[in-house]
A and B are shown apart, each in its own frame.
Chain A
Amino acid sequence: DIVMTQSPDSLAVSLGERATISCKSSQSVLYNSNNKNYLAWYQQKPGQPPKLLIYWASTRESGVPDRFSGSGSGTDFTLTITSLQAEDVAVYYCQQYYSTPTWSFGQGTKVEIK
């Protein structure tokens, strides 16, 4: 099984500042045949279902603000929120879909306002 580990578990960032979340997989999620990383990021606001933010490690889902960006390859990935807004308070999860039809999520990172 591919284990996804996020860090930190929580972070507090001032409004307008940058938030950075790390996600590491226990094995590579890069498919050499198409050079794609099978890694997604989700945002879950309190009382809401998760929402897909980024897939293929760096492709923003339609309608997602460009202050959200994903980067990384292989086993190390990052979600960056530039200029944090109040509405970005949420728990963020990474997910690998390399081993589909089995999936695994990171444990989540809670982002709060400092």
Chain B
Amino acid sequence: EVQLVQSGAEVKRPGESLKISCQGSGYSFTTSWIVWVRQMPGKGLEWMGIIYPGDSNTRYSPSFQGQVSLSADKSVSTAYLQWSGLKASDTAMYYCARVSTPMGDAFDIWGQGTMVTVSS
């Protein structure tokens, strides 16, 4: 079964760092881009950035450039989303998804989501 499994929910204080993960299985993890998508409480979907696990090439949405960092470890088929100094406004659900090139770059497989809560 093709799937993306994300790490569990996190509760952090403002200013703390955090790294969440997204592990792929059932397909060639290194040959498909992975996208990260933010969904703030009660709001819509925003793409944050993409990473190609094969060579860790990354692209960031201008809205998130400099705010987060993407990385990948192809040896464990895992992509990561990282913050160095969380803010309350980072409270959201974060999804990873596979970018499907045959579908023209629609997002065909989604992780279950990681809820990040930042509160003092």
CB-CB under 8 A from B100, the residues of chain A are 55
Q: How far is the CA of A100 from the CA of B104 in the complex (A)?
A: 9
Q: Is residue B1 contacting chain A, with contact meaning CB distance below 8 A?
A: no
Q: Is residue B31 contacting chain A, with contact meaning CB distance below 8 A?
A: no
Max chain A Cβ within 10 angstroms of own Cβ: one of B45, B95, B97: B45
Q: How many A-B residue pairs have CB under 8 A?
A: 62
Q: How far is the CA of A100 from the CA of B106 in the complex (A)?
A: 9
Number of residues on chain A facing chain B (CB within 8 A): 23
> Do A52 and B46 touch across chains, with their CB atoms under 8 A apart?
no
Q: Is residue A77 contacting chain B, with contact meaning CB distance below 8 A?
A: no
Which of B8-16, B75-83, B84-92, B110-118 is the contact stretch?
A: B110-118
CB distance from B58 to the nearest CB of A (A): 10
Number of chain B interface residues as a range: 20 to 34
Q: Is residue B41 contacting chain A, with contact meaning CB distance below 8 A?
A: no
CB-CB under 8 A from A51, the residues of chain B are 110
Among candidates B104, B107, B112, residue contacting A38 with C-beta atoms closer than 8 Å? B104
CB distance from B106 to the nearest CB of A (A): 4
Among candidates B46, B97, B113, residue contacting A105 with C-beta atoms closer than 8 Å? B46
- Report which A residues bind B (CB closer than 8 A): 36, 38, 40, 42, 49-52, 55-56, 61, 93, 95, 97, 100-108
Q: A40-B107, A103-B105 are in contact. List 5 more A-B contacts (CB 8 A).
A: A49-B111, A55-B103, A61-B108, A97-B105, A105-B47
